[in-house]
Amino acid sequence: MTRKLLMVACVLVGITAFLLRSRAAAPALSKDALDETFDSGISRLVIAWDQDDARPHAARRAALFDFMYETYQSSAWVPQSLFDTNAVTQAVVGDMDTIVGREVGLVRWRDNPRVPAFGMAPNVTTKDPSVAPKTLRWTVNCLVCHTAEIDGVAYFGAGSKTFDELWLGTALKRLTSEPWLSRLRSNPDDFAFAKEANRILNSHHHDKIDSLTRARSTAFAASHVEMFMRSHEGRMPDVAEVGRGDVKTPPLWHTVAKMPVGRWYSDGSFHGPFPLMASSMELEKDRSFETLSTAVVPVIKDEFTSVIQHLRAPRYPYAIDVVLAEKGRALFNSREMGCASCHGTYDGRGGVDWPGRHVDVGTDRGRLDVVTPQFVDAFEHSPLAAEGALKKSRGYAATPLTGVWANFPYLHNGSVPTLYDLLGPATARPKVFEVMAARTLDRERVGQPLGRAPKDADDRNWFNTARPSCGNGGHDFWSAIKTDANRRALIEYLKTL
């Protein structure tokens, strides 16, 4: 068995371990059951919410509940029974923390007795018993990519630092194919769901767009594939027609800062009131354009108004040297340094007046190049053309820096582990670092520790700046920053944003 398959087997064992423990929950969960444990489930989750949201608590809670348990009908649904009937994996009870937490890299939902990780969503029973699902099935939602854990604390809306989409996809494809699939024959309903999940997973996977590093995502390029397929009778675009451009997942709390400008994603290529590109195409594979416009886009728009635009950046959780930060503020806003001219001015209470600049500061161009004439054409033949425009951008967004302490590793591709490295000379930046080390904050340099040294430079568990689209050059302001004292002051100020 190759190493890869071994690892996939481990993932399956881990998922099974959890599901074995929760075997009593095999019937589909009810909304009431999820509701009962919702408040205790989110009691330690950090959710920074707009103070001015005038809605009553109950309305906000309901919106949050719907968002956190959001599911779509035509996603790949994996039946619980597939895990239960797996004799091989049943024999081994692993530890959920080490397997799902480490191999798949999801954020464990430790305070939730029914759902193992953020972004895993169960089907729920409905009031009408004639259409009520009888057995438990799982899918994923926005939060697999849009939640992160730092120093053991889960942050709602932070971009994932560890989730490995490719591992999960590979594991689920195997689990829904032979020999596991046949074990479900005695349960025709679940058998049909698993078979369908396998078809969806396989027919929507374009090898070209697998990210080269775990916890980097190609959701934007995947939108191109999805749009192309629907306007070409299900045919995949050729390899030459598709780009990849690995990026880190940005935080949802940038939404409020970007709304007045209306340009979205790391390159600002999507122009419109809300970012609907990756969000709407990623989860709802296998929907026709028609159902996307009627059933998916309206739901996501509603989530933007009811939840996402109300999210604010989480405060830095440790001590800040206020005198040093004040020096940093002056530098940041100074003309010599120029930071504010691109990144905007910050009000000290978590707000920013964002100028919406998208500029080429010499960083890796891989993701910019994803927007090709073919992509624009596929976009224009899709229902999203009614929601905005796709235009090639000259540079990446000079991102809002709200909550930037939590947004490591830095730059659109997550190629620079700390603020200290980003604000120093580009040539001194680390070339390789370990992805899973990003679960811990390095408070000294602000960002992630480098972790262990890799045994194999190609291992997806390490970020390697030598890979295509993973370059760590550019955004070098050392000639303006000049001294380590200035750099320290800037970092201290950035902690306050």
Q: Kindly list the residues in this chain that would bind ligand HEC in the complex (CB under 6 A).
A: 142, 144-146, 165, 217, 219-220, 247, 249-250, 252, 254-255, 258, 264-266, 275, 278-279, 282-283, 300, 303, 308, 332, 337-339, 341-343, 359, 361, 363, 367, 395-396, 398-399, 401, 404, 407, 410-412, 419, 422-423, 475, 477, 481, 490
Dihedral sign (CA 312, 313, 317, 318): negative
Taking the complex as a whole, how short is the minimal distance between the CB of residue 90 and ligand HEC, in angstroms? 30
Q: In the block, which residue shows the tokens 């599901």?
A: 19
Taking the complex as a whole, how short is the minimal distance between the CB of residue 398 and ligand HEC, in angstroms? 4
Taking the complex as a whole, how short is the minimal distance between the CB of residue 279 and ligand HEC, in angstroms? 4
Closer residue to ligand HEC in complex, CB, 201/419: 419
Q: CA 415 to CA 437: how far, in whole Å?
A: 14
Taking the complex as a whole, how short is the minimal distance between the CB of residue 189 and ligand HEC, in angstroms? 26
Q: CA 19 to CA 79: how far, in whole Å?
A: 11
User: Left (φ > 0), alpha (ψ -120 to 50) or beta: where does 468 sit?
Assistant: beta
Closer residue to ligand HEC in complex, CB, 145/450: 145
Closer residue to ligand HEC in complex, CB, 254/310: 254
Amino acid at 59: A
Both structure tokens of 309: 């635009």
Closer residue to ligand HEC in complex, CB, 136/209: 209
Taking the complex as a whole, how short is the minimal distance between the CB of residue 272 and ligand HEC, in angstroms? 11
Q: CA 159 to CA 148: how far, in whole Å?
A: 6
Q: CA 412 to CA 417: how far, in whole Å?
A: 12
Taking the complex as a whole, how short is the minimal distance between the CB of residue 163 and ligand HEC, in angstroms? 7
**Nearest alpha carbon to residue 135 among 193, 74, 69:** 193
Closer residue to ligand HEC in complex, CB, 155/180: 155
Both structure tokens of 411: 């730059």
Closer residue to ligand HEC in complex, CB, 35/302: 302
Q: CA 185 to CA 39: how far, in whole Å?
A: 39
Kindly report the number of other CB atoms within 10 A of residue 31's CB atom.
14
Q: How many CA atoms does the CB half-sphere of 348 hold within 13 Å? A: 7
Taking the complex as a whole, how short is the minimal distance between the CB of residue 300 and ligand HEC, in angstroms? 5
**Nearest alpha carbon to residue 358 among 267, 455, 261, 489:** 267
Closer residue to ligand HEC in complex, CB, 102/475: 475
